[in-house]
Amino acid sequence: MRTGERLLSLDVFRGVTIASMILVNNPGSWNHVYPPLLHAEWHGWTPTDLIFPFFLFIVGVAMSFSFAARENAPQLRKVLVRSLILFGVGVFMAAYPRFDLTHLRIPGVLQRIAVCYLAASLLVLYASRKTLYWTVFLLLLGYFLLLGSDLTVEGNLAARVDRFLLGGHLWKATWDPEGLLSTFPAIATTILGYLTGERLRPNENVEKGENGHEKAATLFAAGWAFILGGLFWSIWFPINKNLWTSSYVLFTAGAALQFLGFLYWVVDVKKWRGWTYPALVFGRNAIAVFALSGLVAKSLILYKVERRDGSLASLYQLLYETAFASWAGPLRGSLLFALATVFFWWLMMLALYRRRIYIAV
């Protein structure tokens, strides 16, 4: 990989991740979803619980490339503007379509991405690499010590902090999966992504004679170490996406290292790229398709239509019932609806991709 060349495997990773996010966010009916496509109720994990930390990890990897050749001052302005836009879009998505500010949910997916990106960027721009390692260590250990032994849904410290500071503006009445305190270990996920990206940057480790095959092997080995470390820590601090526990950070970072290592070896080392086109279409407009798909889904739920029997249903529900559940059944129909949604948005992003229109935030 030459200096200045895009890390194509990262675009593929981003595309697969955002497609997965759209898939799990858009079932035909939340009453009919296959268990792997749902988040774990509390402790434990499902494949769906890997998606959000994968995206934050990707943000960190991308930072190592975008920051490499820029001065700190203009880069800081870009970071601040991008963080504000991401946070603002997230709040707009939460407010739409009613814009009831008295009960507006303030935390959210894009809001967490914005905060993690900002915090990690400031550390990367103004702290040493050694400080980054120490920051990850202290964030994970400190979070473990803070939460203590009470990890119940409403009794844990993260939920209590959210109720005290953001009461009435949470996902649930008493807690939020993207709350304030649990954002700190999520910052560690982003920093780990950055440190991984530094390992993959062109001309990194040349003095060690490390080639692409060895870099991929390093990612695989580190991935196993993180996964095992997360599983071991989960004995005392269970893997929990809603709390973003320290064991969850290690476990999901290990899974991300494994997946990125595989993609890096296949796409950037072996140059087997013919199959990557569908993922690249999503990967180059990831934030845009996430926001648009969420807003359109809300609009379809808001718009009511009358059934033949005179009852009202949302257009979203009617599409699911008539186009999918009517012949495939409620469970398979729900999955097919989600897959059709992914395909629809892929076609929309394909139109942009072919015209080289990339909506960057």
How many domains, the chain?
Answer: 2
- Give the pLDDT score at 206: 40
Amino acid sitting at position 347? L
Within this chain, do residues 208 and 138 fall inside the same structural domain, yes or no? yes
pLDDT at position 337: 97
Give the span between the Cα atoms of 294 and 96, in whole angstroms.
Answer: 10
pLDDT confidence of residue 80:
93
Q: Are 120 and 168 in contact (CB under 8 A)?
A: no
pLDDT confidence band for 114 (50 / 70 / 90): very high
113 and 205 inside one domain: yes
14 and 156 together in one domain: no
- Asked if 224 and 259 sit in the same domain, the reply is yes
Q: Which domain holds residue 287?
A: 1-25+274-361
Q: Does one domain contain both 202 and 315?
A: no
Rounded CA separation 205/320 (Å): 52
Q: Is 30 a member of any domain?
A: no
72 and 221 inside one domain: yes
Among the three residues 239, 271, 303, which one is the final residue of a domain in this structure?
A: 271
For position 69, what pLDDT does the model report?
56
Q: Which residue has the tokens 């296959």?
A: 34
271, 297, 329: which is the final residue of a domain? 271
C-alpha distances out from residue 86 to 15, 112, 257, Å: 18, 9, 25
Contact 15, 279 (CB under 8 A): yes
User: Is residue 97 pLDDT above 60, yes or no?
Assistant: yes
Q: What is the mean pLDDT of the chain?
A: 91
Instruction: Tell me if 31 is assigned to some domain.
Output: no
pTM of the model: 0.93
Domain identity same for 260 and 143: yes
Q: Which of 9-18, 196-205, 268-277, 328-337 has the lowest mean pLDDT?
A: 196-205
Q: Are residues 81 and 123 in the same domain?
A: yes
Domain boundary among 215, 247, 271: 271
Domain membership of residue 9 (yes or no) is yes
Q: Are 281 and 348 in contact (CB under 8 A)?
A: no
Q: Are residues 298 and 164 in the same domain?
A: no
My answer on whether 303 and 326 are in the same domain is yes
Say if 33 falls within a structural domain.
no
